[in-house]
Amino acid sequence: MRDMNSGYDGYRMSKRASEAYRNGEKPFSKWTKKEIVSLSGDERMAGYPLSVLRQYFLCQSSWHHTSRYANRTDFFSISEDAIRNIDIDELDRINELDRKQRQASAIEKPKKAIISYGEWIGTRSHPRLAMREEYAIVIGRWAYLESGKRKDLSGKHVESCRTLERAPRGTAPVFRNIEKAMKKRRKETS
């Protein structure tokens, strides 16, 4: 009988993905501000938000299979050119654009909603699209769900998003929990 898992380290990632981690590559979301600042060797970088540092210093270096479903995940590494030639003017330009984007999304008033979306369940050989309906807070094109997930409203399996004038009776704790999760997510990304 053939080993069906010969290219994988358990069910988390392929052996090549594990090797990429050892070589300093990782997915975009796994890079922290502290790591980027220390690798840049310039303490002035600590004054910039994580989103700006990721845009400036990271470059896509490879992709690998991850998860038990062998999803394709892009891996990023620090650009040696960006480290050698740190351009403060370019960093300031990126920072200003990022700040304007954040302000624009902060101006947009959050709306309470009910969102219907499809979620794949079952096994890899027998997948099935199950429809879910959850309360959400919508800001721009993003819906923050009561389950803690974030959905792009322009995504493939989003069926509907019905905004609510006010929270239905008895759902105030649900929306408070969603707001707490949103604040926590913002702290992690800044």
Beta carbons of 47 and 86 less than 8 angstroms apart: no
Mean pLDDT of 60-88: 89
Task: Work out the percent of the chain whose per-residue pLDDT is above 70.
Answer: 93
Widest CA span of the chain, in angstroms?
60
Q: How many CB atoms neighbour CB 175 within 10 A?
A: 19
Name 70's Cβ contacts closer than 8 Å, sequence gap at least 6.
14
Q: Tell the residue number behind the tokens 């030639």, with chain if given.
A: 85
The DSSP string of 7-26 is TEETTTEEHHHHHHHHTT-B
Do 58 and 28 form a contact (C-beta atoms < 8 A)?
Answer: yes
pLDDT band of 106, cuts 50, 70, 90: low
Share of the chain above pLDDT 90, in %: 52
Q: What is the mean pLDDT of residues 106-121?
A: 86
pLDDT at 2 (0 to 100): 44
List the chain domain ranges. Answer: 8-105, 111-189
What rounded mean pLDDT belongs to the chain? 87
* Whole-Å CA distances, 45 to 32, 51, 52, 79: 12, 12, 10, 15
- Residue 154 is predicted with a pLDDT of 83
Residue 169: DSSP 8-state: T
What is the Cα–Cα distance from 106 to 178, expressed in whole angstroms?
Answer: 16
DSSP 189: H
pTM for this prediction: 0.58
pLDDT band at 190 (very low <50, low <70, confident <90, very high): low
